[in-house]
Amino acid sequence: MEETDETLLDFGNTEIAFSHKSDRELKNTYWLFKLMNNPSLVRIGSFFGKLAAQVPFHLMDPLIRETIFNQFCGGTNLLECQRVVDRLYHKKTMTILDYGVEGRERDEDFQNTLEVNLKALEFAYSNPNIPVISTKLTGYIPISVLEKIHAKESLSAFDQRAWERLEERFVILCKKAAELGVGIFIDAEESWIQDPIDQLVDKYMPVFNKEKPILYNTFQMYRKGRLDYLKSSFEAAQSGNYIFGAKIVRGAYMEKERKRAKEKGYEDPITADKLVTDTQYDVSIRFCVQYPEQISLCNSTHNWNSCLLQTELMAQAGIPNDHPHLNFCQLLGMSDNITFNLAAKGYIVAKYVPYGPIKDVVPYLVRRAEENTSITGDMSRELKLLNEEMMRRGLKNA
């Protein structure tokens, strides 16, 4: 089909991007991103946010909720998320539930993660536009144990039991997901704990992905060697005759990774620069789009070019926009221009919707604020788009 203006995908279309926001909501979002654009304010905000997360009172909760929490999170529990889920559905956008609690240490917390994730699966099952939930395996086991397994150190009896408990809980979760037909994304984490996570996903993908994609591993393209791992995971799926679930991201922990490698004197696991990451990312998308029946892909990015690339490859191959295995995903509250313009053209696109008690999602919120701050003094990507829409609606002069 020849592309006309009407069929052309335009991520610069702010009218579609923000049509879900009233003028008042748009103004509030604009001011929030304007505040986050200021590095000093973000530093102060992050400091008080982290502090508030440690005190037993909930003094800061109303302030956090009315500002950054409402922008980036679905609610404190599943019931509260329903409003966001419905709103996204109205915009032909799927929801991926993401329980945002991180860095726990006690067995009862790990059991709690399992119970919360199981409830999320039930909730997803009753909502046709929640195809997948996401989870972090650091919600199921102490990080120190993952670190030891990754480093091939010997485990104490306590560590060994923690690893076994993780596997038991993981299997319970996967069985429930398969029974309900809801997928699970396993987030990628820091490189020094990633091997045991991969090990577990590689062990169970062949079991649960026989008929439809249930388990997805996450591949960070800012890491050296991950493209090869993506390809070898696909080959394993081909020979094992199961569907390969691949969520592709660039990677969230670059500074931490480089700092640790330097301090401990090992080779930096991250690519030399952004261009190499971008190239590796593009190659991974090109690779996955070649096998739409065998790979279920989630292109998880806020990068315009990486999303456009997939749409172009799909068009070239004559693959329909709504192919169920060729998905896109952005985080709630970010890159609405990508999400809602893709949805308007019939692509399968979702928002990651984090939820959980306010105190517990503070580390996630701090990451979002830091990501949207500007070191150069320019407007962040989000702020530019909000500014444009404010002007288009006549709410602000140039």
Ligand X SMILES: Cc1cc2nc3c(=O)[nH]c(=O)nc-3n(C[C@H](O)[C@H](O)[C@H](O)COP(=O)(O)OP(=O)(O)OC[C@H]3O[C@@H](n4cnc5c(N)ncnc54)[C@H](O)[C@@H]3O)c2cc1C
Closer of 167 and 370 to ligand X (Cβ):
370
Using the rule CB under 6 A, give the single segment among 39-47, 283-291, 300-308, 315-323 that binds ligand X. Answer: 300-308
Q: CB 257 → ligand X: shortest distance, Å?
A: 9
| Spatial contact of 220 and 188, defined as CB atoms under 8 Å apart | yes
Instruction: Give residues 213-272 in contact with ligand X (rule: CB under 6 A).
Output: 218, 220, 222, 249-254, 270-271
Q: What is the largest CA-CA distance in the chain?
A: 66
SS3 52: helix
Q: Do 368 and 112 touch, CB atoms closer than 8 A?
A: no
In angstroms, the CA 272 to CA 263 distance is 17
Minimum CB–partner distance for residue 254 and ligand X (Å): 5
Binding-site string for ligand X from residue 318 to residue 357, where x marks contact by CB under 6 A and - marks none: -----------xxx--------------------x-----
Q: What minimum distance in Å lies between the beta carbon of 58 and ligand X?
A: 28
Residue 204, by phi and psi: left (phi above 0), alpha (psi -120 to 50) or beta? Answer: alpha
Query: Given candidates 273, 318, 375, 376, which one binds ligand X under the rule CB under 6 A?
Result: 273
**Contact between 274 and ligand X per CB under 6 A:** yes
Looking at this protein, which amino acid is placed at residue 180? L
Q: Please state the closest distance from residue 270 (CB atom) to ligand X, in A.
A: 5
CA proximity to 90, closest of 343, 348, 347, 352: 343
For the CA atoms of 356, 358, 362, 368, the dihedral, rounded to the nearest 10 degrees, stands at: 70
CA distance 292 to 327: 10
For ligand X, the closer of residues 99 and 352 by Cβ is 352
Name the minimum Å distance from CB 189 to ligand X.
7
Kindly identify the residues of this chain, within the stretch 186-205, that bind ligand X according to CB under 6 A.
187-188
Q: 293: exposed, middle or buried (C-beta count within 10 Å: 0-12, 13-18, 19+)?
A: exposed
Q: Is 124 helix (H, G, I), strand (E, B) or coil?
A: helix
Min CB(160)–ligand X separation in Å: 27
Determine the size of the site formed for ligand X (CB under 6 A). 24
Q: Taking Cα atoms as reference points, which of 326, 301, 294 lies closest to residue 313?
A: 326
CB of 253 to ligand X, least distance (A): 6
Cβ 130 to ligand X shortest distance, Å: 14
- Cα end-to-end distance, the chain, whole Å: 38
Among the listed residues 76, 233, 277, 339, the single contact to ligand X using CB under 6 A: 277
What letter would DSSP give residue 257? H
Q: Is 308 in the site for ligand X (CB under 6 A)?
A: no
Residue number, 187 or 336, with CB nearest to ligand X: 187
Among residues 52 and 120, whose Cβ is nearest to ligand X? 120
- Nearest to ligand X of 150, 302 (CB atom): 302
The single-letter code of the amino acid at 204 is Y
Q: Helix 157-180 and helix 194-208: axis angle, to 10°? A: 40
The residues with which 327 forms a beta bridge, in sequence order, are: 298, 348
Residues that bind ligand X (CB under 6 A): 187-188, 218, 220, 222, 249-254, 270-271, 273-274, 277, 300-303, 329-331, 352
